[in-house]
Amino acid sequence: MGDGWVWYGLGIMLFFYGGPQRYSAVCAAGTAAVVGIFVFKALKRLSHRLRPCQVEPHCWSKILPPDQFSFPSGHTMTAFSIALVVSYFYPSLEGMLFFLALSIAVSRIVLGMHFLSDVLAGMVLGVVLGCASISIFASFGLA
């Protein structure tokens, strides 16, 4: 579920059924996610940290990594940034969104794609990106 289709689906649903704040919510979440892609790609190139499945073959997972390096977890960063932003606009979805984000984070460890520190860094960076996106949209009166 962390490969984007859940977030694209959520964005489409919010766009059609999200009420008057739908544009701000979708744009703020999209901005956080896109900036996050640049951040995690840059950090991965700097860190060159091998993935757990490259250090030790995983006992049962045969899923191939989406890219070469491990630190930080981009899936986790995206999940937490979008969950935070959408929760800001739709507080009733907060529990479900953070449960989904945490499930994605845990899955990255279980699948042997990331170390715990990669996922924790992704969580922190995702929250920072989400807060920054909300702040920027609020400064323009859009949040």
- Mind telling me the catalytic residues? 75, 114
- Apex CA 38: angle with CA 34 and CA 40, to 5°? 110
- What is the Cα–Cα distance from 8 to 17, expressed in whole angstroms? 14
- Of 94, 72, 92, nearest in space to 82 by CA: 94
Backbone angles phi, psi at 140, to 5 degrees: -95, 5
Structure tokens at 141: 């009166």
- What is the Cα–Cα distance from 54 to 123, expressed in whole angstroms? 23
